[in-house]
Amino acid sequence: MLSLGSISASRGGLFAVDQLTGAASLIGDTGPQYGCDGGLVFAPGAPVPEPITLATVGLGLAMLSRR
Over the stretch 25-37, which tens digit does the pLDDT of each residue have? Answer: 888 877 666 555 5
- CA 30 to chain centroid: 18
Over the stretch 36-64, which tens digit does the pLDDT of each residue have? Answer: 555 666 666 766 667 787 788 889 999 98
Domain count, the chain: 1
- Local structure of residue 1 (DSSP, 8 states): -
CB 2 within 8 A of CB 42: yes
Please give the Cα distance from 65 to 49 (Å, whole number). Answer: 23
pLDDT at 36: 55
pLDDT at 25: 82
User: With 0-12 CB in 10 A as exposed, 13-18 as middle and 19+ as buried, what is 36?
Assistant: middle
If one counts every other C-beta atom within 10 angstroms of the C-beta of residue 12, the result is 21
| Residue 8 belongs to domain spanning | 2-66
